[in-house]
Structure 1
Amino acid sequence: MASDPWRGHDIGGLFIALLAGAATLMGLTVYLGSRLAPDTFRRYTPARVWRDVSLAAVAAGAALYLWGLLHVLLTDEQEQAERCELLRPAGVPELVGLRGDFVPLRLVCETPDGHDYNVVVPDYINPLLTVLLLLALAGATASGLLHRRQRTFTRKKG
């Protein structure tokens, strides 16, 4: 039931996210591994370096997100409830719900006064994902600008 206040992550959504993340990580790993071949390595330009830095950050982010998803998947509902109770702040008489979010990845124990807290997903996951996202965006932007500058320089030269 969708209105159940004690509903964590949807198991179907977890499996879809795990499969999509694993496929993305595998594809990026194979691609980035192919970039290390000697012939390819010699043709590197600054734009290509930044592109691959960006893709490496995406791959690291995918691996980290999968790690967080595995924490959620491998913790059954009973253990999730126990962790909520174990970490319940002093002065909070009871919990009113449990909510699973995919972005940011977290399992939230809900209190009646609105001071919710996270359990199960390690605390380092979301901050590191933010840093990796910013690195991926910076790398993609730098790659695009360098590629554009290279094309403009080649046109003026030729």
Structure 2
Amino acid sequence: MITASDPWQEHNFAALLAILIAGTATLLGLAGYLCSRLTRQARRGCTPVRLWRDLSLLTAAVALAVYLWGCLHLLFLEDQELAERCERQRPAGTPTLVGRRGDFIPLRLVCEASNGHDYSVVIPGYINPAVALLLLLALTCALISVVLHSDPPRGRPPRNRPTTATDKEAEQT
């Protein structure tokens, strides 16, 4: 049994497996939706709002795929392999290892040394920066979509605004 005070913690296997299953299901759902947006009928009804929304979903899906790829690096490693990786990748001058911990956000496996320093192993270095950049891009695309959706085209009243008598008078003049 692993306790919170145990210095040799790794990623919880059940949580890792749940993230991989839920993430894969979400990724497949996003891929299916985005593929449906490529049909001729969907392309005819494409508006800037829908385009930015779909770009946001696409970049979020790519970020999820990169994160899941990082999780797969952890899935099949045994405790002995993790210890060997910590030893092999220990920086020069680093004293003995005193612990190991796994974090999901950011995704990493950290080896802790007795001098208080730590270093990350197993997860490729590009995973976390790529996920952060892709999520920032997805947020930007989503915000552009929201701004375009809330700003009606010039010359037409907003969709949900009821037409009043003064609007009809202004149209007649």
Question: When the two structures are superposed, what TM-score results if normalisation uses the length of structure 1?
Answer: 0.94
Retained in 1: the 8 A contact 2:152–2:158? no
Q: Deviations over 1:94-121 (max 9, x none)?
A: 0110100000000000112222111111
Q: Name the SS of the counterpart of 2:142 in structure 1.
A: helix
Q: Name the SS of the counterpart of 2:152 in structure 1.
A: helix
Retained in 1: the 8 A contact 2:34–2:54? yes
Distance in 1, matches of 2:104 and 2:139, equals: 21
Q: When you count helix as a share of all residues, which structure comes out higher?
A: 1
Retained in 2: the 8 A contact 1:110–1:116? yes
Retained in 2: the 8 A contact 1:47–1:147? yes
Equivalent residue in structure 2 for 1:138, among 137, 140, 163? 140
Equivalent residue in structure 2 for 1:148, among 128, 147, 150? 150
Q: Which runs of 5+ in 2 are unaligned?
A: 164-173
More displaced 10-residue stretch of structure 1: 143-152 or 71-80? 143-152
Distance in 2, matches of 1:141 and 1:65, equals: 23
Residue in structure 2 matched with residue 39 of structure 1 by the alignment: 41
Matched AA of 1:7: Q
Question: Structure 1 residues 12, 156: CA separation in 2 closer, same or farther (over 3 Å shift)?
Answer: closer
Matched AA of 1:147: H
Q: Point out 4+ residue stretches in structure 1 off by more than 6 angstroms.
A: none
1:137 Cα deviation from its structure 2 partner: 0.3
Residue in structure 1 matched with residue 126 of structure 2 by the alignment: 124
Matched AA of 2:121: V
Equivalence map 1:34-113=2 (5 Å): 34-113=36-115
Residue in structure 2 matched with residue 16 of structure 1 by the alignment: 18
Retained in 1: the 8 A contact 2:53–2:141? yes
Residue in structure 1 matched with residue 30 of structure 2 by the alignment: 28
Distance in 1, matches of 2:147 and 2:19, equals: 32
Question: Structure 1 residues 156, 53: CA separation in 2 closer, same or farther (over 3 Å shift)?
Answer: closer
Retained in 2: the 8 A contact 1:98–1:107? yes
Residue in structure 1 matched with residue 168 of structure 2 by the alignment: none
More displaced 10-residue stretch of structure 1: 125-134 or 106-115? 106-115
Identity of aligned residues (%): 53
- How many residue pairs align between the two structures? 158
Retained in 1: the 8 A contact 2:55–2:141? yes
Q: Which has the higher contact order (CA 8 A, sep 6+)?
A: 1
Distance in 1, matches of 2:153 and 2:114, equals: 59
More displaced 10-residue stretch of structure 1: 121-130 or 107-116? 107-116
Q: Name the SS of the counterpart of 2:147 in structure 1.
A: helix
Distance in 1, matches of 2:106 and 2:61, equals: 17
